[in-house]
Amino acid sequence: MTITQLRYIVALDQFKSFAKAAEHCLVAQPTMSLQIQKVEQELGFELFDRKKNPVITTKLGKAVVDQAKNTLKEADKLFEIAGQWKDEPAGNISIGIIPTVSNYLIPSIYNQLQTEFSKVNFRISELPTLSILEKLESEEIDLGILATPLKIPNIVEHPLYYEPFVVYYPKDAKEKTSSVSMKHIEKYPLLVLGEEHCFRHQSLKICNRNSLAKIESGSVETLKRMVDMGIGVTLLPKLSVDPSSKRIVPFDTPEPAREISLVYKKGFYKTKILKKLTSLILGVIAKEYHSKEKFKIIGVSLNQD
């Protein structure tokens, strides 16, 4: 029984589909099926009921999957130890990142991830906050990049930077000034992201609005197009927009901002990757956003995210 075979077993238990599990493991479906059959032959019983759709893990299979997860975790620790000895991070790591951060951060660091972490197999997924926290708890992912503070007992928050909110105005808006307060934008309908996005609730909190906005969307780009049509205004993360744009205006000081952090479950051991990833991210974020001193941090409401 090999480490690779154990990864196949865990993936099939997670995705309940040979096709999806094979895609996740970057292997051909027949290869995965054959390797899992070999494990079943070696153990003497079936791990999965293939007659069901989706595939169901058997009772004995569940016990094997649980042990396989523990074994893989220990194997990853060996890769981590080897990486520290060689002064080079190694192993596998999966990251969940909220969409309003990933749209500018991932393109900024992707090439460096490939070169500076050549021995690390990264898997990055765009997910809303609650999904990231659920997958951290179930250990389906290793790290999250999202807005904090969360103050969850089992989750460690590692703040990275602080990102101001800005107002995106219609092109012909007459109320634009060098900076804005609530009185400047309260006459406009507020356009916000959908219920699953923490950015939505932070926007409503900043604007002191409890009622539903006129337009809700899962996409920042859709909101911007609606604003372009003159329907209302929206709030955007400052780092996601062109700083030279004449359509965005900052808030009066202290500017409302969100804290962006790397988060992980207690017991996380891939410290070398964490340290280097932190350095990489901060390297593409202007130093003026590394400190929260001049900002008013807007918290996250998990019961609404």
CATH code assigned at 285: 3.40.190.10
Same domain, 262 and 155: yes
The answer to whether residue 302 sits within a structural domain is no
Kind of pairing between the strands at 120-126 and 248-250: unpaired
- The pLDDT assigned to 98 comes to 94
The answer to whether residue 47 sits within a structural domain is yes
What is the phi/psi pair of residue 107, to 5°?
A: -60, -30
Same domain, 139 and 273: yes
Same domain, 59 and 110: no
CB neighbours of residue 305 within 10 Å: 22
Q: Which of 239, 188, 238 is nearest to 215 (CA)?
A: 188
Same domain, 250 and 272: no
Question: Domain span at residue 79?
Answer: 3-84
Terminal-residue alpha carbon distance, the chain: 42
What is the phi/psi pair of residue 47, to 5°?
A: -90, -25
Same domain, 124 and 236: no
- The pLDDT assigned to 305 comes to 37
- What CATH number corresponds to the domain at position 45? 1.10.10.10
Same domain, 271 and 134: yes
Same domain, 262 and 135: yes
- CA distance to 42, 58, 154, 162, per residue, from 138 (Å): 28, 19, 12, 28
Same domain, 235 and 292: no
- The pLDDT assigned to 171 comes to 81
| Integer Cα distance of 159 and 178 in angstroms | 29
| Integer Cα distance of 281 and 268 in angstroms | 19
CB 8 within 8 A of CB 25: yes
What one-character DSSP code corresponds to residue 251? Answer: B
Same domain, 51 and 192: no
Produce one character per residue of 141-172: b if its CB has 16 or more CB atoms within 10 Å, e if not: bbbbbbbbebeeeebebbbbbbbbbbbbbbee
Three-class DSSP category at 1:
coil
Q: How many domains does the chain have?
A: 3
Structure tokens of 101? 């951060």
Q: Which of 35, 32, 6, 34 is nearest to 21 (CA)?
A: 32
- The pLDDT assigned to 304 comes to 44
| Integer Cα distance of 193 and 195 in angstroms | 7
- The pLDDT assigned to 82 comes to 66
Model pLDDT for residues 33-49, shown as the tens digit of each residue: 999 999 999 999 999 99
Q: Which regions of the chain are under pLDDT 70?
A: 80-88, 174-176, 209-218, 302-305
